[in-house]
Amino acid sequence: MTALHTVRFQKSGRFLLLLMVVLLPATDIQAQPTAGSEYQVKAAFIYHFARFTQWPEGTLSEPDSPLVLCIITSDPDADVLLSLRDKTVRDHRLVVRKPESAAEVSNCHLLYLATDDMEVIRRGLAFARGRPILTVGETSGFLQLGGIINFFEREQRLRFGVNLDAAEAADLKFSSQLLMSAEIIQEGP
Amino acid sequence: MPFFSPSIKQKLIWIILFTTGITLLLASIAFVTKEILTFRQNLVKDLSTLAQVVGMNSEGALVFDDRFTAERHLSAFRTRPGIVFACIYKQNGTVFATYSAAGRQKSIAPPKVQPTSHFFDPHFLHLFQQIFVDREMIGTIYIRHDLGEMRTQLQQYLAIVGVIILVGFFVALILSSFLQRIVSVPILNLAQTALTISQEKDYSVRAEKHNRNDEIGVLIDGFNEMLKEIQSQEKELKEHREHLEDLVVKRTAALRKTNTALRDAKNAAETANRAKSEFLANMSHEIRTPMNAVLGFTEILYGMVTDERQKNYLVSIRTSAKSLLTLINDILDLSKIEARKMELQYESVNLRAVFEDIEQVFSMRIKEKGLKLIIDIAPDIPKKLLLDEVRLRQIIFNLVGNAVKFTEAGYIRIAAQKIQRPNQKENSVDLMLTVEDTGIGIAQDSLEKIFEAFKQQDGQSTKRYGGTGLGLTITKRLVEMMDGAISVQSRIDKGSRFLVVLRDVSVAEDGGEGRGIMVSEDEKIEFEPATVLIVDDIETNRSLVKAYFQDTPLRFLEADNGQEGIRKAREHRPDLIIMDIRMPIMDGCDATALLRSDDILREIPVVALTASGMKGDHERIMACGFDEVLTKPIRRVDMIRHLAPFLPHRMEAIEPHMPEKAEKGEAPEVLSPEVLERIPQLIQVLETRCAKLWDRARQTGFFDDIAEFGQLMKKLGHAYSVGPLREFGNRLNTQVSTFDIEQINKTLEAYPDLIQEIKSMHREHTEAPING
């Protein structure tokens, strides 16, 4: 993405934010079943994932340290996630980024791999492994690859699965609120 | 207690029951209400909490659009059977998840979403609870709770309350029935006490208090206090009454004592006064005795002295001595009256004779002064009245003496009238004697005083008129002694009129001499007792008839109409009826006709007395059955003459004798054979015993002796029916009362002549029948 592109995106993102401020409470769930609003629903889910997740000690230790949300995607529709920016989770401001480098990923608290490109997924997961990064994917087999939360669709509703082992490996803990609505996958003993 | 008015007991029970009932009811209502409110509140609180919990638990389900999880959470309500329905709304109000209690129809439609709130309808509690995440409302939970349980509970409560009220009522009834006595019993006792007191009037009763210190205690105290007050007042009143009686008794005793003391004092005073009067009387007598000698010898000396100057001196001595004697005599009389030594001696008195004697006494002075003396005796005055002649003479003498003394011109009138009075005793009259003059009169303010002793009329010159001032006092006393009254009417310079009223003066029984009525010069009719009925409607007419017969023993009955006449005739059977013709109710003719038809009364003679003088009338009247018809006016003698045939009577022929007596209107002196028989005896008395008295009176010249002699002569004159003797006594008495020494001496000297006269009288009478 070019800088110009980014600027344009930013402009359009600001517009969308405006839209969201005005429309989000009313249109959020209504838009859910529609394909165009898929990322909007997912954005809400991702926001709540962040809310119901407890990062390990040392991470987000400072009260004013931002919660960094990284998106790796090729789908421009996923830009709607940028709207989560400036929201807060437990007093931590959300920062939405599209990491360009591996170094950037290491600073992320949540990594959304909004792609079905298995290579990208594998690199992303590999990069996140061993770090307290909540990885979210949307491709079947994502959890088997070591991802922690994966979106899927059932009865035309967005659902998600949780790999508790991966979460444990990443030293992340989930609220029961999240777990009760999730499909739990445990790989090994 | 009247049955229609609830007793205080009933009232108290009602009050207690009512109060208890209301209290219980209110308490129960409060309790039930509180219970319901609490129940509701708790229910709301419970459900609200539950909703919050469920809501919180459903947060994830909501945000992750996980209906299944949400419904799983809702199914936790199964533990609360009251919850019949629940649901969760999404943020936008669409229903997200629902729950229905088992056995319930699934078709309960969720209501429209509402903010956090709740409300009750008759069957359910509806509760909305919003679910917040980080101050963001993410959904609403709705719970519908069945209130059946609460209703059941409410019913239970109501049942309990009902039981409590009933039990409470019953307990209150029992308690109040006992407890009301605390209040009602003392009041009823008090009322009973009050009733008893008012019925029995016993104020010593007290209401019992029984150690009460409440208002009823105060009431009882007040009541008892009042009773005490009444009792003490009553007692006081009673005491006062008794005290009053005591007081009256005491006062009466005191009064009686005072009265006794007064009576004693009065008696003492009277005794003292009498002693004084006796002393005076004796003194007067002692003074008078030598005075008589002075007068007597002056008289003798007068006859012996020839020198004119000496004669004049003797006249002066005589005049002064006479004045002195008069004064002494008056004092003596007054003293006698006051000492009650004077006694009245009643005898038959002829007023005319008395008046004429007095005229005789004053004739000289009256002539000198150029006055006129009129004697006016009403014709109906009985000729013989029982009076004390001496004192009557004194009374008239004093009054006439005064009149002569104070009159310079005009006349003096001496009059006697009969006073008509109802209920007049038979054989007695009320007399009014009048002595009237045209003299100087008496001032009005002196009228009362003139009868007081030693008081002459103010300004009355003693020098000019002389007198002792005792005359009227004595007169008044004498009149009073005769049970009479004296009064005076007078006007200055016009004259005076003295009135002496004597009541119930008895008419003297005529000692034979006055019984007959002269009907002609030599004829006298003497009626015997009989009854005559006069029937006339005019009272004066009846009186006139009675007056015509006043000296007869006839008894008169009166009736003022024919009917009344018949009634009286039937009742009294009179000997004669004198009948007027014109009368109201029944006239004389009709009455007479009726009498004639009566078997018993027909024999009674009836004489008509009519004013009608027509000849035809006369015949017509006779036709009614009258025995005789007399025409008014009729003279007395004519009437007597005409009526005599119908009445028992005696007719006597009189020899012309002592015409002067007949002229004077007195009954002629008739010496009956009985009298003649006794005359020698009289002559003997006159010549022996009386001669001694006569001698003594002449010797001493004492008025008392002379008066005594005069009285004796008079009495003997009456006793023996010898007129000249009576005349002699009267003359002497009059002269004594006027102290006319000269006349007394003359009269006394004539005593032997009197004896001679009687002797010759006797002789004439005894010889007359012999002579033929």
Query: Which residues of A have a CB under 8 Å from any CB of B?
Result: 25-26, 28-30, 32, 44-45, 48, 51-52, 157-160, 175-178, 180-182
Query: In this structure, are residues A50 and A91 in contact, taking their beta carbons and an 8 Å threshold?
Result: no
Query: Which residues on B lie below 8 Å from A50 (Cβ)?
Result: none
User: Nearest Cα to B354, choosing from B168, B195, B500, B530?
Assistant: B500
List strand residue ranges (DSSP E) for B410-559, in order.
411-419, 428-437, 484-491, 495-506, 517-520, 523-527, 531-535, 555-559
Q: DSSP per residue over B390-441, as a string?
A: HHHHHHHHHHHHHHHHH-SSSEEEEEEEEEP-TTPPTTEEEEEEEEEE-SS-
Query: In this structure, are residues A93 and A29 in contact, taking their beta carbons and an 8 Å threshold?
Result: no
User: Whose structure tokens read 């909501």?
Assistant: B62
pLDDT at A145 over 50: yes
Q: In whole angstroms, what is the distance from residue B710 CA to residue B730 CA?
A: 7
Q: A20-45, pLDDT tens digit by residue?
A: 443 434 333 333 444 447 888 888 88
Mean pLDDT in residue range B120-131 = 88
Query: Which residues on A lie below 8 Å from B59 (Cβ)?
Result: 177
Answer whether B59 sits within 8 Å of A177, measured CB to CB: yes
Count other Cβ atoms within 10 Å, centred on residue B522: 12
User: Which of B54, B57, B64 would you mutate first to test chain A, the one with the most A CBs within 10 A?
Assistant: B64
* Joined tokens for residue B34: 């509180």
Query: Which residues on B lie below 8 Å from A180 (Cβ)?
Result: 60-61, 66, 69
Answer whether B64 sits within 8 Å of A160, measured CB to CB: yes
> Angle B245-B246-B252 (CA atoms, 0-180°, nearest 5)?
90
Q: Report CA torsion sign: B686, B689, B694, B699.
A: positive
Which residue of chain B comes nearest to A91, CA vs CA? B134
Region of poorest pLDDT, from B43-57, B113-127, B548-562: B548-562
Average pLDDT value for chain A? 76
From A180's Cα to the closest Cα of chain B, the distance in A is: 7
Query: Which residues on B lie below 8 Å from A87 (Cβ)?
Result: none
Answer whether A178 sits within 8 Å of B92, measured CB to CB: no
User: Nearest Cα to B607, choosing from B525, B543, B536, B524?
Assistant: B536
Query: Which residues on B lie below 8 Å from A23 (Cβ)?
Result: none
Query: In this structure, are residues B701 and B292 in contact, taking their beta carbons and an 8 Å threshold?
Result: yes
Q: In whole angstroms, what is the distance from residue B594 CA to residue B602 CA?
A: 9
Give B70 or B336, the one with higher predicted confidence. B70
List strand residue ranges (DSSP E) for chain A, in order.
53-54, 67-73, 88-89, 92-97, 110-114, 134-137, 149-154, 157-163, 173-174, 183-185
pLDDT at B497 over 90: yes
Answer whether B90 sits within 8 Å of A25, measured CB to CB: no
Answer whether B63 sits within 8 Å of A48, measured CB to CB: yes
Count other Cβ atoms within 10 Å, centred on residue A77: 15
From B106's Cα to the closest Cα of chain A, the distance in A is: 23
Q: Considering CB atoms only, which of B90, B133, B134 is closest to A29?
A: B90
Beta-strand pair A92-97/A67-73: parallel
pLDDT at B3 over 50: no
Q: Report CA torsion sign: B83, B85, B86, B92.
A: negative
Query: Which residues on A lie below 8 Å from B64 (Cβ)?
Result: 45, 48, 159-160, 178, 181-182
Q: In whole angstroms, what is the distance from residue B1 CA to residue B5 CA?
A: 8
Query: Which residues on A lie below 8 Å from B69 (Cβ)?
Result: 180-181
B277-294 CB burial, b ≥16 within 10 A, e <16: bbebbeebeeebeebbeb
Answer whether B60 sits within 8 Å of A180, measured CB to CB: yes
Beta-strand pair A67-73/A110-114: parallel
Average pLDDT value for chain B? 81
Count other Cβ atoms within 10 Å, centred on residue B28: 18
Look up residue B63 and give its amino acid.
V
Q: In whole angstroms, what is the distance from residue B217 CA to residue B78 CA?
A: 71
> Angle B549-B550-B552 (CA atoms, 0-180°, nearest 5)?
70
Q: Considering CB atoms only, which of B64, B66, B91 is closest to A25?
A: B91
Answer whether B64 sits within 8 Å of A32, measured CB to CB: no
Q: Which residue stretches of B305-350 are H helix?
A: 308-338
Q: In whole angstroms, what is the distance from residue B165 CA to residue B239 CA?
A: 64
Answer whether B64 sits within 8 Å of A48, measured CB to CB: yes
Residues 6+ apart with CB under 8 A from B367: none
Per-residue DSSP letter, A182 = S
Query: In this structure, are residues B141 and B55 in contact, taking their beta carbons and an 8 Å threshold?
Result: yes
Query: In what order do the strands lie in the sheet containing B484-491?
Result: B372-377, B411-419, B428-437, B495-506, B484-491
Answer whether A30 sits within 8 Å of B91, measured CB to CB: no
Residues 6+ apart with CB under 8 A from B437: B403, B404, B406, B407, B410, B411, B412, B413, B495, B496, B497
Highest mean pLDDT among A174-188, B122-136, B375-389, B486-500: B486-500
Per-residue confidence (pLDDT) for residue A34, from 0 to 100: 41
Mean pLDDT in residue range B330-352 = 77
Per-residue DSSP letter, B520 = E
From B102's Cα to the closest Cα of chain A, the distance in A is: 24
3-state secondary structure B49-68: HHHHHHHHHCHHHHHCCCHH
Query: Which residues on B lie below 8 Å from A175 (Cβ)?
Result: 60
From A90's Cα to the closest Cα of chain B, the distance in A is: 9
First to last CA, chain A: 43
pLDDT at B61 over 70: yes
Mean pLDDT in residue range B470-480 = 87
Q: B419-455, pLDDT tens digit by residue?
A: 887 777 777 888 999 999 998 888 888 887 788 766 5
Query: In this structure, are residues A124 and A135 in contact, taking their beta carbons and an 8 Å threshold?
Result: yes
Query: Which residues on B lie below 8 Å from A37 (Cβ)?
Result: none
* Joined tokens for residue B210: 């029984």
From B77's Cα to the closest Cα of chain A, the distance in A is: 18
Per-residue confidence (pLDDT) for residue B671, from 0 to 100: 62
Residue B118's DSSP bridge partners are: B127
First to last CA, chain B: 121
Per-residue confidence (pLDDT) for residue B587, from 0 to 100: 85
A61 to A57, A92, A174, B1, B283: CA distances (angstroms): 7, 10, 18, 99, 178
From A3's Cα to the closest Cα of chain B, the distance in A is: 36
Q: 3-state DSSP call for residue B499?
A: strand
What pTM was computed for the model? 0.39
Give yes or no for a cis peptide into B186 (omega within 30° of 0). no
C-alpha torsion angle, residues B393, B397, B398, B400 (rounded to 10): 140
User: Whose structure tokens read 């992340």?
Assistant: A172
Q: Considering CB atoms only, which of A30, A160, A182 is closest to B92?
A: A30
Query: Which residues on B lie below 8 Å from A21 (Cβ)?
Result: none
How many inter-chain contacts (A to B, CB under 8 Å) are there?
43
Q: In whole angstroms, what is the distance from residue A132 CA to residue A138 CA?
A: 20
pLDDT at B542 over 50: yes
Q: B81-93, pLDDT tens digit by residue?
A: 888 888 999 888 8
Q: In whole angstroms, what is the distance from residue A106 CA to residue A124 CA?
A: 10
Which residue of chain A comes nearest to B66, CA vs CA? A181
Q: DSSP per residue over B707-721, as a string?
A: HHHHHHHHHHHHHTT
Residue B132's DSSP bridge partners are: B137
Per-residue confidence (pLDDT) for residue B500, from 0 to 100: 94
Region of poorest pLDDT, from A156-160, B321-325, B365-369: B321-325
User: Nearest Cα to B502, choosing from B402, B398, B391?
Assistant: B391
pLDDT at B165 over 60: yes
Q: B198-240, pLDDT tens digit by residue?
A: 888 888 878 777 777 788 888 888 888 888 888 888 888 888 8
pLDDT at B657 over 50: no
From A148's Cα to the closest Cα of chain B, the distance in A is: 17
Residue B437's DSSP bridge partners are: B412
Query: In this structure, are residues B692 and B712 in contact, taking their beta carbons and an 8 Å threshold?
Result: no
Answer whether B63 sits within 8 Å of A44, measured CB to CB: yes
Per-residue confidence (pLDDT) for residue B104, from 0 to 100: 60
Query: Which residues on B lie below 8 Å from A182 (Cβ)?
Result: 64
Which residue of chain B comes nearest to A161, CA vs CA? B64
Q: In whole angstroms, what is the distance from residue B25 CA to residue B47 CA?
A: 32
Beta-strand pair B95-100/B83-90: antiparallel
Answer whether A52 sits within 8 Å of B60, measured CB to CB: yes
Answer whether A180 sits within 8 Å of B66, measured CB to CB: yes
Q: Considering CB atoms only, which of B66, B91, B134 is closest to A29?
A: B91
Q: Which residue stretches of A53-93 are H helix?
A: none
The rounded radius of gyration (Å) of the Cα atoms in chain A is: 16
User: Which of A24, A46, A48, A181 would you mutate first to test chain B, the one with the most B CBs within 10 A?
Assistant: A181
User: Which of A180, A183, A184 would you mutate first to test chain B, the one with the most B CBs within 10 A?
Assistant: A180
Answer whether B64 sits within 8 Å of A45, measured CB to CB: yes
Q: Considering CB atoms only, which of A26, A177, A182 is closest to B92?
A: A26
User: Whose structure tokens read 């509703």?
Assistant: A157
Give A14 or B372, the one with higher predicted confidence. B372
Answer whether B91 sits within 8 Å of A157, measured CB to CB: no
Query: Which residues on A lie below 8 Å from B65 (Cβ)?
Result: 29, 32, 157-158
Query: Which residues of B have a CB under 8 Å from any CB of A?
Result: 57, 59-61, 63-66, 69, 90-92, 133-134
Highest mean pLDDT among A3-17, B227-241, B632-646, B653-667: B227-241
Q: Which helix (H) or strand (E) holds B90?
A: strand B83-90
